[in-house]
Structure 1
Amino acid sequence: MNTKPHLSIIAAMSENHVIGLNNSLPWHLPDEWAHFRKVTAGKAFIMGRKSFEAPDALHSEYRNVIITSRPPAQAEPRVEYARDISGAIALLSDETDVFVLGGASVFEQMLPLADRMYLTIVHAQVEGDAFFPAFDSDDWQLADSEFHGADDDHAYAFSMNLYIRKP
């Protein structure tokens, strides 16, 4: 039986929608990374090539599907390649939960298909060159939110939010 997996977008963005600068995250938030690892443990990831190759990229220890028009001749272990979103979803049709890690164009294409968004809001305006796409908040219900203040390890306060698509 071939069914579509539950697609969850997971991202952190600033209040001005920045998600990246020079193919890296513009902040260092250890507790947010710990949250990411807990939420995504043992799950398959879909991401674009640049996100996969970013110096601070997080990879699934289970399964990574990379969207690229130029897959390498030899894939690394636990890495598969797809030419587009539908190909990536088809490769993961046997999974129950799949996390979408970006970048910006992948988020934009996946937003209409996603069931959930684990979206951390970094409470700052930061410089960046990659942005999370605008979305209609009327389509989403905030199911959970956890605020984390700035401290010695976190330059910015942030809120880890879980949104579920309204039926």
Structure 2
Amino acid sequence: MKQQLYIIAAMAENHVIGLNNSLPWHLPDEWAHFRKVTAGKAFIMGRKSFEAPDALHSEYRNVIITSNPPAAGEPRTEYAKDISEALALLSGETDVFVLGGASIFQQMLPLADRMYLTIVHAQVAGDAYFPVFDLADWDLASSEFHGTDDDHAYSFSMNLYIRKQPA
């Protein structure tokens, strides 16, 4: 079976995904959605994303892209020097989630089969951005809106996009 690559991210309407290596929002229901969608699956991410204070790690398998792997790794964690090595390490996996950061998303976007992309309905300050992509290349398969409440300062939409097949 062909390996499926899924990008999973939350971005503000102005494409911000991070500020000072952290998420610029706290959205517990979006994190619950993330955990449900990614349970038992392998993750690929960059070193800074892996080391972020609010990083979410796979309880199954993490592949971290870095030019400087640590001498002693963490449990369920492997290191790769680039995207192709990361994909080779995960060649036996059918479903692989790409968690960022910005440069990893940029490199993986052309390869992704699906995007689980939460849109945070706000313009926020940040220093990391999700890459610009052409919506014409994707079908919106589902969208679930979540309004503001006591636990969520921003409203957001959890969207699933599936890459359109070439004609």
- TM-score, normalization by structure 2: 0.98
Separation in 2, partners of 1:6, 1:82: 19
| 2:18 alignment partner in structure 1 | 20
Separation in 2, partners of 1:116, 1:66: 20
SS of 2:111's equivalent? Answer: coil
Moved over 4 A (4+): none
SS of 1:34's equivalent? Answer: helix
CA-CA distance at 1:4 after TM superposition: 5.0
Q: Does 1:109 align with 2:143?
A: no
Deviations 1:83-124 (A, max 9, x none): 000000000000010000000000000000000000000000
Match of 2:131 among 116, 130, 133: 133
Cα contact 1:4–1:93 (8 A) shared by 2: no
SS of 1:31's equivalent? Answer: helix
Query: How do 1:42-81 residues align onto structure 2 when only pairs under 5 Å count?
Result: 42-81=40-79
Separation in 1, partners of 2:145, 2:70: 41
Separation in 1, partners of 2:97, 2:91: 13
CA-CA distance at 1:76 after TM superposition: 1.1
Separation in 2, partners of 1:52, 1:106: 12
- Matched residues, number: 165
Instruction: Extract unaligned runs of 5+ from structure 1.
Output: none
Instruction: Extract unaligned runs of 5+ from structure 2.
Output: none
Separation in 1, partners of 2:53, 2:74: 16
Separation in 2, partners of 1:122, 1:144: 16
Match of 1:144 among 139, 142, 145: 142
Cα contact 1:44–1:60 (8 A) shared by 2: yes
| 1:165 alignment partner in structure 2 | 163
**Aligned Cα RMSD in Å?**
0.7
- TM-score, normalization by structure 1: 0.98
Separation in 1, partners of 2:56, 2:38: 10
